[in-house]
Structure 1
């Protein structure tokens, strides 16, 4: 157990309780120790002993921690620890009420999804590696184009079949549509752009050449041994490809999905259409891309408007 010598006896007793009687993991006990050390330090600054703390003290502690830049999750963890301590202290008859009950940590804004700029996304989609194995290069180019063209999840891409059947998705090149089964078994059809269709056609032409005559497999995208490609392999190949293409940061499949959504929204302004294309059940999930769109507009304003920047003195 972490060093608790500086803690008040009641706090030490609680840590002993969670370690020996509740048998919490050593890592959890260490987190509880940190939380109780923080509580004791805050109480010392405020004046009252720990067992004399009131809800107003706890609220001030939370506000102070938040103002100092503490993440909402860290504050929530400490509140949970404090709440547990005072609940146990009440069972011991040391306090009459739990001063932490009903107090919640401030919400931490969800981070914006990472999306490439249009130029970077096109740079990655256009990239071709003449030194790579032609079979793998054709496959990886087609996967990259399709991820960006249609905003597919990596699992949806991996589950695509060459033709319609009993699978979870397939690509209709003639109609220019990809049919997928998304989260919750929800099916949707998404347009496929001309460059992506051309890349898939090049892949389909070379796809059977690695295997014996008469070979066939339902999966559209394959590993080198002929089995359906895995999402993990797609992640790895795209990461390598983005580095080879000269992008500043490594790209994973969901970055291309975010880029697809952001760029369609920037061009069309149609949030409902983006919701349908992504297969989101709830429009609030899609609304995060309006924040990305505003971020793009704010950057354009900063660069273009003569009054956007303060003049240097």
Structure 2
């Protein structure tokens, strides 16, 4: 084991250069990766010099304090995790060289990144999209695309659940819509089947689509190539079952036609469904069942969206929400 004098703070720069050469030659790290390692390791050397610490005296407590400083300075958790990864690799190499007694970064973990909130439309924007009538689309395509948007927003379906729907129930069907019962049966994650209510607007849109669906000239040929297309609720102009990618393109195109500020993807309509139901009902368990979440903690993210909605309403309406304007 080397002495503290050999591995003092003054020698840190030389050790870092030796390690970077090892990473370049032996580990064959890319040039950009080496630049990142060099930046973070030189920052480490500066922290050791400031604390008058040789490399063999650095402890996990020191590393955690430096990590806290980075966090308070505004560095994101992912960035901190990258820094720690560089430091961890450096101290691992020092241990292999018998220059440190242990790796002080080994059990230090970066702060958890905040789970991003799902993107949901405002109620008015969602209604504007659902009620869009595209004058440039032919009646067949317009009927199909309106029914797709109504089901995504009105039932909170995943895109995979939507494209798996058949016209009629059957033992081989992944899902179907029973308009008389006002319910859709879908096959969700983990092959779990659930029933979802179909609202009046979505039911009307589906009836309009079903009245024209079989007018697709390519449907007979598609039935020969893929018999399953005969059962599919949503089909394309080729007569084949509509794909998830096609649903994404449809949602994006209609949102732009509707004049929304940003393109909409199918899962955003599912988020909007959950957020709007929760805003109106405050029934988290019901939203969990409607979405088909196995764990309610997955659904709880929508309570944060609901709180944002309430906070905006409070700021806009409550006389004590904002400080009085001194100019009044």
Higher Rg = 2
Q: Which runs of 5+ in 1 are unaligned?
A: 1-6
How far did residue 24 of structure 1 move? Answer: 4.4
Q: Equivalent residues in 2 for 1:282-297 (5 A)?
A: 282-297=295-310
RMSD between aligned alpha carbons?
2.0
1:272 and 1:20, CA in 2 relative to 1: closer, same or farther beyond 3 A?
same
CA distance in 1, matches of 2:176, 2:39: 52
| Secondary structure, counterpart of 1:8 in structure 2 | helix
How far did residue 258 of structure 1 move? Answer: 0.7
Equivalent residue for 1:194?
A: 200
Equivalent residue for 2:131?
A: 126
How far did residue 91 of structure 1 move? Answer: 1.1
CA distance in 1, matches of 2:192, 2:161: 11
Equivalent residue for 2:258?
A: 245
1:254 and 1:45, CA in 2 relative to 1: closer, same or farther beyond 3 A?
farther
How far did residue 308 of structure 1 move? Answer: 0.4
Equivalent residue for 2:23?
A: 18
Q: Which runs of 5+ in 2 are unaligned?
A: 1-11, 224-229
Q: Equivalent residues in 2 for 1:119-268 (5 A)?
A: 119-165=124-170, 166-211=172-217, 217-268=230-281
How far did residue 147 of structure 1 move? Answer: 0.3
Equivalent residue for 1:4?
A: none
Q: Equivalent residues in 2 for 1:9-48 (5 A)?
A: 9-24=14-29, 28-48=33-53
Is the 1:39–1:50 contact (alpha carbons within 8 Å) kept by the matching residues of 2? no
1:147 and 1:89, CA in 2 relative to 1: closer, same or farther beyond 3 A?
same
CA distance in 2, matches of 1:50, 1:13: 14
How far did residue 271 of structure 1 move? Answer: 0.7
Deviations 1:200-250 (A, max 9, x none): 111112222121585652211112211111111111111111111011111
1:34 and 1:200, CA in 2 relative to 1: closer, same or farther beyond 3 A?
farther
How far did residue 167 of structure 1 move? Answer: 2.7
Is the 2:177–2:184 contact (alpha carbons within 8 Å) kept by the matching residues of 1? yes
- TM-score norm. by structure 2 comes to 0.87
| Secondary structure, counterpart of 2:176 in structure 1 | strand
Greater CA deviation, 7-16 or 83-92?
7-16
CA distance in 1, matches of 2:275, 2:286: 12
How far did residue 252 of structure 1 move? Answer: 0.7
- TM-score norm. by structure 1 comes to 0.91
1:238 and 1:61, CA in 2 relative to 1: closer, same or farther beyond 3 A?
same
Count of residues in correspondence between the two structures: 307
